[in-house]
Chain A
């Protein structure tokens, strides 16, 4: 009996690795050949016209579009998320914290397509009123992504802050620091690793987010030349075009190659994250 249960547990442990490898193998199988034969074109051209008479598969604009949306979304989610986390862990009363956390978790449960609706129906007209020619653009995408990742950042950020030993807070306060000085000079530095992890998980989530950005970014292949430029992301391209691409055809393979690039992008983000955290740990921890 013991033996069977042990075996099952081991199997479920190993299965995660198997699934990852299988996914990688599947995407790689369809995309790798295309990636090798078209890599120079992909990484140098800003034109993505897979259905033109002479198809062009440049993904520079798509990568820039993704980075643009994700980068700008951080301007929304990081300050708001960390401020909210600090409020929840340090300044709110027990009761307030309890119900605010419930609401934050509720926010996390909103499906991404609903965020798309919000982007189209609310942020879109607001941006137009604010001077944008088209309300569906990179800023809209960044705002939606920022709001979507906010709950993640708040929850993980609060965990990171609460993991800081109470004794640090008390030592700072006991020396006459005000609460704000304590937060700024002791708490945030002490929690910086945890907060960084929260931000990076948020970035990972943003890079992979598809439906909402597909709905609100305007879906135009171009490198943003002004604040309100419409953009297109890697994920949205795959989602929008896979259905109409001929199975096994060049376009189809190109989309899988995009998948590989997406994989690589998140891998690089994670790698950087890992390095940063480790570098920090060695110099500070």
Chain B
């Protein structure tokens, strides 16, 4: 087996004195969709934000252990560079206070892409991939924050794709999106994994089941079980995983 794309080694996260993630180790294979499931409070999001260091937005978070990208500790990488390589979509849609077009062109412009034609291409590609192009193509000049919640969510996804990231972290990306659109995006994600590794935190068990290659089950800040998705959903080894998957709690 290849070296993992993302390595999580003995990762511990504490907010103040409260430790929320306890010594979790995971290896995320390249070009796969890696699902993370578990009830609220399992520190799934905290774990995810360690990968591109957006956890540092919370001043009081203390991180122990390490996260590696291609074998390199993410803390040794330039943070702006890291975040272009590891894109993140957050659960609550955040349109930046600029036009739809500029929302998507924002990150490419930062790396020096200036030609209108190049930017046009990127904007169209990303908005198409995030299944929102048809809805916004006639109003690219409109303020991104005026889109509906679901559209802003997809705009955030388009923005995440705009840097051609090698890792895409999705935190409950479909929370504000209708089921039909969710299915369209899931289809796109399945195609995208040829180009990138996708880490997807989701509360929708069926979503993990549909598209994740590998799924990890977390509970109360611990990793209970990680396995190929088909195996996990059919023969979970741990009793707690089984109970969660069959809806006995969570």
Known: A177-B80, A284-B143. A171 touches B163 (CB 8 A): no
B84 within 8 A of A: yes
* Residues of chain B lying within 8 A (CB to CB) of residue A168: 94, 96-97
B98 within 8 A of A: yes
Majority-rule SS of A interface residues: helix
A285, B80: Cα distance in complex, Å: 29
* Residues of chain A lying within 8 A (CB to CB) of residue B84: 175-176
How far is the CB of B236 from the nearest CB of chain A, in Å? 33
Over the window 104-141 of chain A, the binary record of Cβ atoms lying under 8 Å from chain B Cβ atoms (1 yes, 0 no) is 00000000000000000000000000000000000000
A175 touches B97 (CB 8 A): no
A181 within 8 A of B: yes
A277 within 8 A of B: no
User: What is the chain A residue whose CB lies nearest that of B95?
Assistant: A171
* Residues of chain B lying within 8 A (CB to CB) of residue A177: 80, 106-107, 110
A190 touches B97 (CB 8 A): yes
A178, B81: Cα distance in complex, Å: 10
User: What is the chain A residue whose CB lies nearest that of B92?
Assistant: A167
B107 touches A176 (CB 8 A): yes
A172 within 8 A of B: yes
* Residues of chain A lying within 8 A (CB to CB) of residue B32: none
User: What is the chain B residue whose CB lies nearest that of A171?
Assistant: B94
B52 within 8 A of A: yes
Question: B110 touches which one: A170, A171, A176 (CB < 8 A)?
Answer: A176
User: What is the chain A residue whose CB lies nearest that of B80?
Assistant: A176
B96 touches A173 (CB 8 A): no
- The residues in B between 86 and 110 inclusive whose CB is less than 8 angstroms from any CB of A are 87-88, 90, 92, 94, 96-98, 106-107, 110
* Residues of chain A lying within 8 A (CB to CB) of residue B162: 175
A176, B77: Cα distance in complex, Å: 12
A183 within 8 A of B: no
B216 within 8 A of A: no
User: What is the chain A residue whose CB lies nearest that of B106?
Assistant: A175
B54 touches A175 (CB 8 A): no
A51, B93: Cα distance in complex, Å: 68
> What is the size, in residues, of chain B's interface with A at 8 Å between Cβ atoms?
25
B83 within 8 A of A: yes
User: What is the chain B residue whose CB lies nearest that of A169?
Assistant: B57
> What is the size, in residues, of chain A's interface with B at 8 Å between Cβ atoms?
20
* Residues of chain B lying within 8 A (CB to CB) of residue A285: 143
B223 within 8 A of A: no
A174 touches B83 (CB 8 A): yes
A189 within 8 A of B: yes
Known: A168-B94, A186-B96, A190-B97. A173 touches B83 (CB 8 A): yes
A170 touches B57 (CB 8 A): yes
B159 within 8 A of A: yes
A185 within 8 A of B: yes
Question: B163 touches which one: A170, A175, A189, A190 (CB < 8 A)?
Answer: A175
B201 within 8 A of A: no
- The residues in A between 253 and 285 inclusive whose CB is less than 8 angstroms from any CB of B are 284-285
A94, B107: Cα distance in complex, Å: 30
* Residues of chain A lying within 8 A (CB to CB) of residue B96: 168, 171-172, 186
28 A-B pairs within 8 Å (CB atoms) are namely A165-B94, A167-B92, A168-B94, A170-B94, A171-B90, A171-B96, A171-B159, A172-B106, A173-B54, A174-B54, A174-B90, A175-B83, A175-B84, A175-B106, A175-B107, A175-B159, A175-B160, A176-B80, A176-B81, A176-B82, A176-B84, A177-B106, A177-B110, A186-B98, A189-B97, A190-B97, A284-B143, A285-B143
A residues sitting closer than 8 Å to B (CB atoms) are 165-168, 170-178, 181, 185-186, 189-190, 284-285
